[in-house]
Amino acid sequence: MSDALLQHPFMSQAALNECNAQAMVAGMLAFELALAEVQEARGLLPEGVAAQMRQALEGHAFDISSIGAGVASGGNAAIPFVKQARAALPAELRRHFHLGATSQDVIDSVLMLMLKPRLAALDALLRRCRSAAVELMQAHETTVMVGRTLMQQALPLTFGVKVAHWGIGLEQARRRLATLELPVQFGGAVAVHSGLDGPGLDGQGLDGTDPSGLGLELMDALAQRLELSVPVLPWHTDRQPIHALATALDAVACAAEKLALDVALLTQTEVGEVSEPGGEGMGESSSMPHKRNPVRCALIRGAARQVHGHVSVILNAQAQPLERGLGEWHAEWTPLLDSALLVEGALEQAAVLLEGLEVHPEAMRRNLAVTGGGIMAEPVLRLLAPTLGQDAAKRISAEAAETARLQGVAYAEALQAHPELQGQVEAQALRQATDPALYLGSSQAQVRRAAAWLQRE
């Protein structure tokens, strides 16, 4: 399969090893055995049935290829799985297996089970990114660089502020992920817990409760046993949990992509303000030995773009008909799991990027002078306007900036030499107005404020 060469490199390899067909089969079995246990505990199954099922099935070698082939006729993996499981059970146990459940109960719950460790891994990676960002921004709280708007040089700021924004974006996404719930799914054929009559129940629970109430009780108990959250009701065509998951994953992808895009732009040869962490073979070209490509940034951005596409599929499948989706539900599975694996892969790269980013303050100083100091025309304009008037001040500040650029002299010197400024403004005032380090606004305060927020749980 081409996935190993074209898709998997963008994903977390650890996650790929844990999210495979075997894991899904294990998840389906865990759901069914947990369901039998909570049903037995409430008298719906004879005593000892759940343990007998576990003994018969836990060591059973399910035919994954056959389950995969069965999806074409049943529409999902749960149907052929249940058939295989029942066939592996003693005859007297088969009617107790999958009691009151439907295939969507199995698939949705298994997806939640598979995503649970992935969300924990994402949280750990985002915490790594947060720690690295705080350290980096504090180290460069006063490192002056040029700020750029519309891809052009604008005004100075500190590199610490730039890192602070990367860190805040990633941490906002982490905190959003932390609020997510992974709900169990259990409702039966039309999500009202039909078919739960147990031995001798005559349509009533053993304690006389209505079967619908018993169904909700089983749903809650199943959630507790599987360590998933409890939904208000079964959510077969209420896809808000999937919407929340997909968009939260996309928010992480967006934050990581912003980091990667900025770093990639700053690594350009003509800019050279940062470099990706090195390593043997990292960033090499197949034909140009001198190159050191920002490969980590490329992997992050490639993963993020795929996540954006996956999320669009999920968003377009949100409104599902009546009591069971016809293709919409089926379309969610791959985009949802792949998004988690892609985001985890992107964050593995982002953590290494932030922890080992090489910063080049000398290049930042060099780039501040590219315009001959012209980026400081705004503070110069503000200095000159009270004395010369707005129009003259704007013209003179621009003329001196062009002189500085063409002649390769300092902006302050070009201003001092301008004939219309002779005797008008003190040289010291001009030097201060043209010093980028003295025109940083609230940069340092922003770094400190961001660091305090990032370190607050």
| Residues acting as catalytic residues | 285, 324
Are the C-beta atoms of 236 and 185 separated by less than 8 Å? yes
| SS3 category, 46 | coil
Are the C-beta atoms of 343 and 252 separated by less than 8 Å? yes
The distance in angstroms from the start CA to the end CA of the chain is 43
Are the C-beta atoms of 128 and 84 separated by less than 8 Å? no
| SS3 category, 156 | strand
Pairwise CA distance, residues 184 & 181, whole Å: 10
Which residue type, as a one-letter code, is found at position 306? Q
Say how many C-beta atoms besides its own lie within 10 A of residue 8's C-beta: 15
The owner of tokens 């049903």 is 39
94 Rama class: left (phi>0) / alpha (psi -120 to 50) / beta? alpha
Residues 336, 337, 342, 345, CA torsion sign: positive
The owner of tokens 């005859």 is 91
Are the C-beta atoms of 106 and 28 separated by less than 8 Å? yes
Supply 126's token pair: 């985002």
DSSP summary character for residue 236: S
Are the C-beta atoms of 107 and 78 separated by less than 8 Å? yes
